[in-house]
Amino acid sequence: MASEPLNRRIGLFDSDCLELAVEGGQRSGVLPDFSFRERIRPQAAKLDALYALAKEHDLTLVFTQCCSSRPVTPGAHPDVLVVPRDPSDQSWAEQVGRYRLINIEKVYDAPLTESFICRHFDTFQHNPNARRLFELLDIPKWVVFGHGFDLCVDSSVKGILASGYRAHILTDVLAPSASGYGPYGTEESGRSILEYLERIGVTTGSLGEFLDAPDA
């Protein structure tokens, strides 16, 4: 019996790397309507390699956006399905199979200090539709990379696990969280968080290893 296609075995989860293109921003070569967030820009070539792989194999790319970014709004981009935070709004659910690019809405309109205190960076805490999205997609393994490792990436990985799916982190396609928010954004913080995630079952590897064997 033939195995399922790659896009039924793995999906990509991009944590906060992208925002709608801004003047002077470094644009993605694969997703030209989007710019990269500043701290992840040194990884631009790696990100575009991932976006190209997703396009080639029709992989689902779920992405979040930083609370201080210029976000995609529902209906603003023809190729992006936005999953709203409003739990009473389920109009998006029937459209899931029609889109390869899916954005999970965060809280964007609060001061940054308030966002940190209220954990607005935690996608699964503040968007009750996030878990429903993963259930509808039902892709067993999610390859995670992104911007804001200590807070945004970490909480998203834990949300994926709590939803019943596996997570694999690309350790060389990460940017730390901003400093100035407690102990986060340091090498020590990143190392401690990664070690904990590995202890609870998250696998890790490099981009090169993943591109050589995407479904290993």
Question: Coil, strand, or helix at residue 160?
Answer: helix
Is 37 within the bounds of a domain?
yes
Residue 58 lies in a domain: yes
Show the domain range for 147: 6-212
We report the CATH number of the domain holding residue 151 as 3.40.50.850
Instruction: Work out whether the CA dihedral 23, 19, 49, 203 comes out positive or negative.
Output: positive
The pTM of the full predicted model, rounded to 2 decimals, is 0.95
- Within a domain: 11: yes
State the pLDDT at residue 188: 86
Q: Is residue 1 part of a domain?
A: no
Q: What pLDDT is recorded for position 204? A: 98
Residue 160 falls inside a structural domain: yes
Q: How far apart are CA 204 and CA 43, in angstroms?
A: 17
Helix 129-137 × helix 154-162 angle, to 10°: 60
Question: In this structure, is residue 135 part of a structural domain?
Answer: yes
Question: What is the count of structural domains for the chain?
Answer: 1
pLDDT tens by residue, 7-55: 999 999 999 999 999 888 899 999 999 999 999 999 999 999 999 999 9
> What is the β-pairing status of strands 141-147 and 34-36?
unpaired
